[in-house]
A and B are shown apart, each in its own frame.
Chain A
Amino acid sequence: MLRAEHLSKTYVTTDWSGFLKRKKSKVEAVRDVSLEMRGGQIIGLLGINGAGKTTTIKMLSTLLQPTSGSIDVDGLDGVRDAIEIKKRINMIAGGERMIYWRLTARENLWYYGQLYGIDNKQLAQRIERLLGMVGLAEKQDIPVERFSKGMKQRLQIARGLINDPGYIFMDEPTLGLDAAIAKELRGYVKDLACKEGKSILLTTHYIQEVEELCEYVYVMDKGTVIAQGTPKELALLGMENKVLCVELHENHERLHRSLTEACQSAERNCSIIWDGKNMAYTITSSKDLSSTVAKVLLEQQAVFKKFYGQEPGLEDAIIKLSRRDKDGFFYEGTEGRDEKTA
């Protein structure tokens, strides 16, 4: 079992503002987070950008030293026994980095296997099995640079299993993959937990993934765990909310202000999220704001594609839990919330 207790991490960064002047700044990325991972369990770690998920994962995987708190992996201490722990864990991140493009799939796996000091014969067998599992057996001798994104990600998964870890941390493993491949990857993840008894911690921005995979979920915001429970329990937290979606044809500058003003005056605790990529607003509040929103759309003569109400789910619970500053209001510039660069 892996148990983390009261983990905190404060980054101290030094910026040179002049030739000799330097400024130290502190970012409290994680504050007092406790969590547990057991064999055969998939745990979700959710939260908006910057909530502290990656920082938490890096602490659990010994890449970062916690400012305070303790980590215990099968009775080993996270700081003192880091080398021993490294043999029992692994991390899989999304994106196309972190593999050698000029090496073939097999060579990549062989290299990392050697770093773990795995016996050559055992390693050869394991590579065979892993390549088969992620469906790269036929492409094993092609340089990775000729792989598609999905193939690279599958290789990433095989790499993350090369040392047969008991605990696997996955940081947005389906980032940037199409729906079909993401689904396939979810299948692997599920099998790893159910069939092989691995313990998996998963961060993701796709709620569907959490609903499908995770047994237990921690929701983080501003570095702390603000809610935890099964996905069903958490979804209930958002139930009393009403969710409206407006999809536009084009960006409409004036609409931003009038919509936020109108909604806020009708209901102080509402949240409006602008998704610049899909040109869509998601408005979540405890009251039904459909007539208010409709009025603004008419007034501003906004041409919209769709305007509809939505069943609140886990996503709304997370929005509700996460982004409420002191005015209970949140407005997210023009950046899409699903747009993320690796």
Chain B
Amino acid sequence: MGSFMKVLKAEMRKQHKNYFFNKSIYITLFIWPLLTFISAYYCYKPFRLDKIVGGLDYVNESNLVVFVLIGYLSLVFFRCFVQSAWRFSMERTFGTLELIYLTPANRLAFIMGNAVSSLFESIWLFVVFASGIFVLNASAYNIDMLSAMLGIILLIVLSILWGMLLNALFLFSRDSSFLFTVLEEPMEIFAGIKVPAAVFPIWAKAISAVFPLTYIAEMLRRIFIKGDGLVQIKGFVLISILIGFAILSITILCLKLGERHAKKTGSMALF
């Protein structure tokens, strides 16, 4: 365990120095989410959200901002990895991945370090902004603190697991631009961030079911807007935990297969 933490910490520090050396990166990390948040807000506006069957009855004109904001905040948590995972895959082309594989370091700790560092580096500014808006709007709601805490913990844990999965996929993928396109836009749409998932036809709902973001965003909205307690959100919690385990298993499998493939063929590109 000690060496796991050592690798995790070292990796976080390295990623911080390697990618966040330039302060201007924070501007893109902030301005971009802000613009897309505004566009999402106007995307939602035309929908009569209270008329949608399937449980969006708690949304109205006055809390729409917070509704979109929570969705957007969750999206930022999950999306910040796509870019960093893509940069991470450079480690393969640059040969440093091979040197890492030459060490006895725990592979999971290594990709986790990258995920944790990119999460906290890329979201903090937006989190501050979102909290500000939320505080301005939140006085009217009555929030169950326990479920709020659980919701936030699940958001962080699941997004880190998601980031680890992306890292593992990108690390061993020959064509990471493909993953980039597949994961960027669809997640925003299908997870109900831009368009309410409840209006989707059944096939699109099936797609949205794969993204952990779908559940997390909906759960947080219910906690923070509707004031749901632990009992009402237990279904979401359960699904999130299950998905978390599934993601972790796929990640570990991917790392194992990747290393085995590399040892066999001498090439780090698995697919």
Contacts and interface: CB of A to CB of B under 8 A. Distances in A.
B251 to A, nearest CB: 19
A102 B18 contact: yes
Interface in A78-99: 83-84, 86-87, 89-91, 93, 95, 97-99
A103 B14 contact: yes
A181 to B, nearest CB: 21
Given A97-B95, A98-B98, A103-B17, A115 B105 contact: yes
Given A13-B265, A65-B264, A102-B17, A117 B99 contact: no
Contacts of A100: 14, 17-18, 96
Contact of B14 (A63, A98, A111, A159): A111
Contact of A116 (B17, B21, B103): B103
A63 B104 contact: no
11 contacts: A11-B266, A13-B267, A62-B102, A65-B263, A99-B96, A100-B96, A103-B14, A103-B17, A103-B18, A115-B103, A115-B104
Contacts of B105: 115-117
B9 interface: yes
Interface in B1-46: 2-3, 6-7, 9-10, 13-14, 17-18, 21
Contact of A115 (B7, B18, B95, B266): B7
Interface SS of B by simple majority? helix
B14 A87 contact: no
A110 B10 contact: yes
A64 B10 contact: no
Interface of A: 11-13, 55, 58, 61-65, 83-84, 86-87, 89-91, 93, 95, 97-100, 102-103, 107, 110-112, 114-117, 159, 163
A73 B147 CA distance: 55
Interface size class of B (residues with CB under 8 A): 20 to 34
Nearest to A169: B102
Contact of A114 (B10, B18, B21): B10
A-side binding surface: helix, strand, loop or mixed?
mixed
B100 interface: yes
B129 interface: no
A100 B94 CA distance: 9
Interface string B96-113: 101111111100001000
B262 interface: yes
Residue among A64, A83, A115, A159 facing the most chain B CB atoms (10 A cut-off): A115
Nearest to B101: A63
Contacts of B7: 114-115, 117
Contact of A117 (B104, B262, B265): B104
B266 A98 contact: no
B215 to A, nearest CB: 35
Interface in B212-246: none
A116 B265 contact: no
Contact of A91 (B14, B17, B102): B102
A13 B265 CA distance: 7
A45 B262 CA distance: 23
A55 B265 CA distance: 11
B99 A58 contact: no
A161 to B, nearest CB: 13
Contacts of A107: 14, 17
Interface in B65-105: 94-96, 98-105
B266 A64 contact: yes
Contacts of A65: 263-264
A116 B104 contact: yes
